[in-house]
Amino acid sequence: LVEIGNQCWFQENLKTANYRNGDAIENIVNSSQWAQTIDGSWCCYDNSCQLYDAWGYLYNWFAVNDFRNVCPNGFHVSSKIDWIELETFLGGSAVAGGAIKTQGTQWWTSPNLADNSSQFYAYPAGQRNAGGYYQEIYEGANWWTTTVDDFLPNSYSWMFEVYYSSYELDSGTDPRNMGFSIRCVQDQ
């Protein structure tokens, strides 16, 4: 765990195949099945869990929103407000990405504009797109939030992302069947 301002965050992406109550979250490897499901699901990038220990699993938003919770007791999946508080404490969205990314180019594509001054340890876990295909490994890190899109509340939700070539912590909305990482933050 790492304290950043008034928040206490996991220092790694979530890597659980179960909800808090012990129920299994489905591991979907088939691309078309991933694209069509509306149930909570997880996967490893390219269906290879070789790097999951450092990078965690990728989840669709349905796992984020499930009433059984994916984060352990005392923690919750970060909201848009949690991320905004984080980026504000780190100096704003223009520089917060550099403060949360791991340094160097062992994992990140060059140039990796990062100093990890926050000790957040963001790794470039990539993503699984809405069609079920993998992309952006070594280039970007993406995290779901619990916050739904005001304009498309039944199909899109908020996420935050960082890329190798920028210090910025960016945000936007994406379809819920995208596969992104999850960061848990302590309940306050």
Helix (H) / strand (E) element for 100: namely: helix 93-100
> 162 - beta bridge partners?
141
Residue 130 banded pLDDT, cuts 50, 70, 90:
very high
Three-class SS state of 55: helix
Identify which has the larger pLDDT, 83 or 153. Answer: 83
Output the pLDDT for position 22.
Answer: 98
Residue 79 banded pLDDT, cuts 50, 70, 90:
very high
- Cis-peptide into 72, omega within 30 deg: no
Which tens digit of pLDDT belongs to each residue from 158-185?
A: 999 999 999 999 999 999 999 999 999 9
